[in-house]
Amino acid sequence: MKFDEFLFSHLGEMGRYQKVQFLLVTIPTMLCALHAFSWTFAAHNTPYRCALPTETDSRTANYWTTSKLIDENLEDCWNTKTKTKVNESDRGQPDVKCNYVKCSIGNDTCTGYVFDHSQMSLTAQEKWDIVCDRHYLKAVVQAGYYAGQMAGASFLESSVIRMMQSIVPVWWMYVIFRAATGFAHPGIFVIAVIIGMELVGPSYRKLAGVISGIFYALGQVILGGAAYYITDFQWLHVVISAPGVIFLTYWWLVPESARWLVSLQRWDEADKVLQKAAKMNGVTLPDKWWEQLDQDQGAKKDGTTKKILNDGSYCDSENATKNTSCFLLWPVVSMIYYGFGMKPDVLGGDLYVSFIMGALIEMPALVIVYLLIDRIGRRPVLAGGFAIPGIVLLANIFLPELNQWMSIAQLMIVKGSITAVYASIYTFTPEIFPTVVRNTAMGYCSTIARVGAISASFISMWIVEKFGKIAMLIPFSVLALSACLVTWFFLPETMSKHLPETIQEIEGTPVEQEMEPLSEPKNAE
């Protein structure tokens, strides 16, 4: 008997124990969101100007000044209600504010800087003078987080590391701690999804990714609200890091994976876990239940995987185009998703409102994916999810300046669509690759996705602030539409198909040979 058959025939697919443990392992994904996007607010693009010779303390100096030396040195003017640019001649009108030239006074360079504290009392930008020719450091810091993710796996509780970000004295130490935080997060999120899938029966497994994604979106909403009220980035880090200490209790609350213990034939430990689950679910397990299980085939599969990777037979197969196409989708979806998380106001609109609304739309988007992915198929969801952002971003380039709520509506369409892609691609990718290389392929996909996130850091936090939103909208729209075409023409539909076990099962192009359908639709799960 397979372990799955034994487990769910005795414990049920979603009993009380599964519900409690599933909730416990998905809650920490909120922390991942809090720290993934905290730099969006910690390095808020605060208006600043050169300090006057008489302003010896830039922290107490007022950004707005009547000094003619500064007051006539204007860069641009904005209507604070509509969040749109206006002419300098409108200066003095209600709701119109003009920013000063940032990096010079006349022909002289700055010896110090005065920041506008109307929104943020202290930002990392001000603390470490991330201004003018040092502006690229904003992107370097955020890229450090994703570089840490690229190297990351499961790590010990990292709340201490996260809290250290609030007190480090220099920017490069902050990068180190931020990279360490990124290193820890893949383990937290992946463990939540994997343990969630292991706990529940086949008919509930789609919920693992959806619920984890909803908690991740909820974490973003909490971050946006916290950042609005906590205007000192150091205290913001303290507040979002402190809850991590609570999860030290998981050492006692969340047991080891029973499936993992069974794979290692640690029967006594696995029995303790499953007996506790059975007691909570109100059922009993047979004595020496492990004697009913089939022998583990893991060692044989591992050897097969190594052989295929070493001799290159998989890479040389006719499937190379299909595999390469799948690999290309991951950095694109990562770049667009994280790019708009780091720069939610790029289309216009208030930073805080845009960020929170962009996070809220992720929740219904995930529910829609859950409802559609086994009805209309993976390929239409993926292709449509890429096409919609591409079209919206292209339209934004040619449309005149929009009001705040129209801009936020566009952001929500983009964020919701790309969230649907992210959720779908986690279902689709394992179905593309045969069992013998599936885990390795998923590892490659996750790694190259971080390349997209690192690229998004430099585009959204440096290049777009140097050249304007066009520097972000053009590459993102082109990549999104290209990914749509790649999905539609080069990748197969995998809905209601057997998971391929060998390379021979998936040879051929999507048009010439679709994957073998299931003989019984009820087994599609």
Kindly report, residue by residue over 29-49, the tens digit of the pLDDT: 888 889 889 999 998 888 888
Of the chain, the percentage scoring pLDDT greater than 70 comes to 76
User: Which carries the bigger pLDDT value, residue 521 or residue 481?
Assistant: 481
Residues 6+ apart with CB under 8 A from 189: 29, 32, 212, 216
User: Which carries the bigger pLDDT value, residue 327 or residue 522?
Assistant: 327
Across residues 274-285, what is the average pLDDT? 88
Comparing C-alpha atoms, which of 495, 493, 515, 517 is closest to residue 505?
A: 515
| Element at 8 (helix H, strand E) | helix 3-11
Question: For residue 510, what pLDDT is reported?
Answer: 46
Spatial distance between the Cα atoms of 381 and 108, rounded to a whole number of angstroms: 55
Question: For residue 298, what pLDDT is reported?
Answer: 41
CB atoms within 10 A of CB 466: 9
Report the range of poorest mean pLDDT among 402-406, 435-439, 482-486: 435-439
- CA dihedral of residues 79, 83, 84, 86 (deg, nearest 10): 10
Across residues 241-258, what is the average pLDDT? 82
* β-bridge mates for residue 96, sequence order: 79
Spatial distance between the Cα atoms of 162 and 164, rounded to a whole number of angstroms: 5
Question: For residue 513, what pLDDT is reported?
Answer: 44
Question: For residue 315, what pLDDT is reported?
Answer: 55
Packing angle between helix 16-26 and helix 267-281, nearest 10 degrees? 110
Determine contact, residues 500/323, Cβ cutoff 8 Å. no
Please report the sign of the dihedral spanned by the C-alpha atoms of residue 82, residue 84, residue 89, residue 92: positive
Asked whether residue 458 carries a pLDDT value surpassing 90, the answer given is: yes
Determine contact, residues 347/410, Cβ cutoff 8 Å. yes
Spatial distance between the Cα atoms of 45 and 48, rounded to a whole number of angstroms: 9
Asked whether residue 341 carries a pLDDT value surpassing 80, the answer given is: yes
Determine contact, residues 367/210, Cβ cutoff 8 Å. yes
Report the range of poorest mean pLDDT among 121-130, 168-177, 430-439, 512-521: 512-521
The winner for highest mean pLDDT among 300-309, 345-354, 362-371 is 362-371
Across residues 276-293, what is the average pLDDT? 85
Spatial distance between the Cα atoms of 30 and 363, rounded to a whole number of angstroms: 13
DSSP 8-state symbol, 229? H
Q: Where are the domains of the chain?
A: 1-31+138-284, 48-118, 318-508
What class is the 1-31+138-284 domain? mainly alpha
Question: For residue 97, what pLDDT is reported?
Answer: 75
User: Which carries the bigger pLDDT value, residue 481 or residue 427?
Assistant: 481
Determine contact, residues 169/251, Cβ cutoff 8 Å. no
The CA distances from residue 277 to 11, 17, 270, 291, 328, in Å, are 7, 5, 11, 19, 42
Spatial distance between the Cα atoms of 362 and 353, rounded to a whole number of angstroms: 15
Comparing C-alpha atoms, which of 222, 255, 251, 217 is closest to residue 239?
A: 222
Task: Name the pLDDT band for 197 (thresholds 50, 70, 90).
Answer: low
Question: For residue 366, what pLDDT is reported?
Answer: 94
- Tokens 């050492």 belong to which residue? 251
Question: For residue 225, what pLDDT is reported?
Answer: 95
Asked whether residue 353 carries a pLDDT value surpassing 90, the answer given is: yes
Q: Is 291 helix (H, G, I), strand (E, B) or coil?
A: helix
Determine contact, residues 41/228, Cβ cutoff 8 Å. no
User: Which carries the bigger pLDDT value, residue 371 or residue 95?
Assistant: 371
Asked whether residue 255 carries a pLDDT value surpassing 60, the answer given is: yes
Question: For residue 514, what pLDDT is reported?
Answer: 46
Predicted model pTM: 0.81
User: Which carries the bigger pLDDT value, residue 405 or residue 105?
Assistant: 405
Two tokens at 344?
């939610």
- Tell me whether the CATH fold assigned to 1-31+138-284 matches the one assigned to 318-508: yes
Spatial distance between the Cα atoms of 192 and 204, rounded to a whole number of angstroms: 15
Task: Name the pLDDT band for 156 (thresholds 50, 70, 90).
Answer: very low
Mean of the per-residue pLDDT values of the chain: 79
Determine contact, residues 5/259, Cβ cutoff 8 Å. no
Report the range of poorest mean pLDDT among 281-290, 351-360, 436-445: 436-445
Q: What's the CATH code, domain 318-508?
A: 1.20.1250.20
Across residues 434-458, what is the average pLDDT? 81
Asked whether residue 273 carries a pLDDT value surpassing 50, the answer given is: yes
Region class of 514: left (phi > 0), else alpha (psi between -120 and 50), else beta:
beta
The winner for highest mean pLDDT among 116-120, 396-400, 484-488 is 484-488
Across residues 295-309, what is the average pLDDT? 49
Asked whether residue 431 carries a pLDDT value surpassing 60, the answer given is: yes
Asked whether residue 21 carries a pLDDT value surpassing 60, the answer given is: yes
Asked whether residue 512 carries a pLDDT value surpassing 50, the answer given is: no
Two tokens at 353?
């409102």
Question: For residue 299, what pLDDT is reported?
Answer: 42
Across residues 131-143, what is the average pLDDT? 89
Spatial distance between the Cα atoms of 83 and 77, rounded to a whole number of angstroms: 10
Two tokens at 466?
């140097």
Question: For residue 444, what pLDDT is reported?
Answer: 79
Spatial distance between the Cα atoms of 168 and 81, rounded to a whole number of angstroms: 36
The winner for highest mean pLDDT among 98-107, 167-176, 206-215 is 206-215
Question: For residue 384, what pLDDT is reported?
Answer: 94
Phi/psi for 478 (5° steps) reads -65, -45
DSSP 8-state symbol, 76? E
Two tokens at 521?
């639709």
